[in-house]
Structure formats: C-alpha cells, structure tokens
C-alpha cells in the first residue's frame, strides 16, 4: 500500500512568487494535515482538511491557503513568498477525524525562497 | 503556545546506553504521541499513550505520562546507532482534532 506522497520534493522560488505543494494521502484516509518545519525547529501546524472542508487552521497569515479535492488529495498554496517561508512542508493523513490517533507523514517538500 | 517542549534539546550517548527524553505541555489532552524524524525526512509514529494511561511499552521504548504534571517521558533502552534521529512529542488537545508538536530532542548514539 502506498504511503503519503508529496510533490515536488524540492522547490526553489524567489520572493513575491507563489508556491504550490501537493499531497496524496494514504488510500482511505479522509483527513490531511499540513505542517511547516523551519530549519532546526519543531513542526508548526498549518492546516487541517477533512472531507473536503478546512477544519482548523494554525497561526499563519492568509497567504497560506489550501484545499482538499474530492479524492482527498490536497494542495497547499503560499502566495507572496517571503524569505522566512523557506522550510520543509510536511503533509500527513489519518483515516478519520473522530480522533486524531496516529498521523502518517509524507517525506516533505523542501521550499527554498531566494 | 500550544506546543509542547522537549528536554533536553540534544542528547549524545554511547551505543548500549539508555536514552531518556522528556516532554512538557500546557493544556488538557486526549492523548500524547511520540514520533521520530531522521534528518530532514518525514516523521514516523512510535507510540501513543492516552490520557487515562500512565505507562506504555513497545519493544525497546517505554513511555510514561503524568497528566497532573503535564509531562511525558520516552525511554529508549539499549540504544543503537540506528536510533540516531530527532524525537518529537505531540499532543492532541481535548476538543481538538489535530496534533501540536514539541520542539524535539536530537539524539545521537555513538557506535
């Protein structure tokens, strides 16, 4: 069974541009979570989607947005990129939103903003 | 902040020794989980302990939870070089459906 897949693996952008990151959850999982991990730091919760709806949002500006598609895959968009947006962006999925339980993580997308 | 905090930030031990990492958090929780991350990769779930549990074992891992002190510890016994990684605790807060991660402990096991 395929795990959580993320693309692209690496992405280089310049300040002011937009970045789009993609995530495919494990088959049968309806919840998708996005986290930001800046270099050497812990994970900061960004967004949680379930059944196509945004269920919760972390303390990030509105230029961080996303969506979940009918097949439960998800997209994270970061507009007007700033240097401090450089980070590893991790996607995770879980089978249900009844309780979080274990999260299954992808390998991440490393975004570099120059 | 909703995040937990791990202590120590970094730990270096010899192969075969035990490693203990601690996690403190601030709110009431449904469960607390520990994850491992190899150098800039995705996280791997290690163990989950529910708020009504005090101790849990999985192989060489032992986790304790003290809800009165809002703290947890992860013990790795008989460490191996392959245990070298960052370890994070994550809390599912009561009423929430997402996990908040701590700042991590960087463990180095010297062969």
Query: Can you spell out the DSSP letters for B60-81?
Result: TEEEEEETTTTEEEEEE-S--G
Closest Cα in chain B to A5: B42
Give yes or no for a contact between B91 and B32, defined as CB atoms under 8 angstroms apart: yes
Using only C-alpha atoms, chain A has a radius of gyration, in whole angstroms, of: 13
Please report residues of B whose CB lies closer than 8 A to that of A92.
43
Going from the C-alpha of A45 to that of each of B11, B62, B72, the distances in angstroms are: 25, 27, 21
Token code pair at residue A97: 């939103």
CA distance to partner chain A, nearest, from residue B21 (Å): 15
Q: How confident is the model at residue B2 (pLDDT cuts 50, 70, 90)?
A: low
pLDDT, tens digit, for every residue of B26-76? Answer: 988 989 999 999 987 889 999 999 999 999 999 999 999 999 999 999 999
Q: Among the residues of A42-105, which ranges form H helices?
A: none
Closest Cα in chain A to B105: A42
Question: For B11-23, what is the mean pLDDT?
Answer: 97
Taking the C-alpha atoms of residue A35 and residue A1, their distance in angstroms, rounded to an integer, is 23
Taking the C-alpha atoms of residue B77 and residue B89, their distance in angstroms, rounded to an integer, is 18
Going from the C-alpha of A107 to that of each of A9, A35, A64, B13, the distances in angstroms are: 8, 12, 20, 27
Say what the pLDDT of residue A40 is. Answer: 73
Query: Which candidate in B9, B90, B97, B104 is best for mutational testing of the A interface (most A CBs within 10 A)?
Result: B97
Residues forming beta bridges with residue B50, ordered by sequence position: B31
CB contact under 8 A, A105 and B42: yes
Going from the C-alpha of B59 to that of each of A39, B36, B75, B79, the distances in angstroms are: 31, 15, 11, 12
Residues forming beta bridges with residue A93, ordered by sequence position: A32, A104
Say what the pLDDT of residue B1 is. Answer: 46
Q: Is a pLDDT exceeding 70 seen at residue B80?
A: yes
Instruction: Quickly tell me which residue has 């994550």 as its tokens.
Output: B90
Query: Which candidate in A54, A96, A98, A103 is best for mutational testing of the B interface (most B CBs within 10 A)?
Result: A103
pLDDT, tens digit, for every residue of A54-113? Answer: 988 999 999 999 999 999 999 999 999 999 999 999 999 998 665 568 899 999 999 999
CA distance to partner chain A, nearest, from residue B42 (Å): 4
CB contact under 8 A, A33 and B98: yes
């Amino acid at each position: 069974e395929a795990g959580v897949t993320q693309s692209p693996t690496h992405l280089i952008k310049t300040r002011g541009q937009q970045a789009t990151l993609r995530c495919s959850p494990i088959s049968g999982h309806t919840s998708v979570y996005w986290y930001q991990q800046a270099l050497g730091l812990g994970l900061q919760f960004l967004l949680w989607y379930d059944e196509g709806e945004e269920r919760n949002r972390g303390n990030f500006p509105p230029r961080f947005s996303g969506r979940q598609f009918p097949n439960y895959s998800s997209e994270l968009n970061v507009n007007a990129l700033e240097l401090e947006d450089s980070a590893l962006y991790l996607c995770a999925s879980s089978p249900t939103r009844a309780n979080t339980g274990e999260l299954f993580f992808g390998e991440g997308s490393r975004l570099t903003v120059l | 902040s909703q995040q937990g905090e791990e202590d120590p930030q970094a730990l270096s031990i010899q192969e075969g020794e035990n490693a203990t990492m601690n996690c403190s958090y601030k709110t009431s929780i449904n469960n607390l989980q520990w994850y491992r991350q190899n150098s800039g990769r995705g996280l791997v779930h290690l163990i989950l302990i529910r708020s009504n549990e005090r101790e849990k074992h999985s192989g060489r891992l032992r986790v304790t939870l003290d809800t009165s002190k809002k703290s947890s510890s992860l013990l790795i016994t008989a460490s191996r070089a392959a245990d070298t990684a960052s370890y994070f605790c994550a809390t599912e807060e009561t009423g929430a459906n997402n996990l908040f991660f701590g700042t991590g402990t960087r463990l180095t096991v010297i062969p």
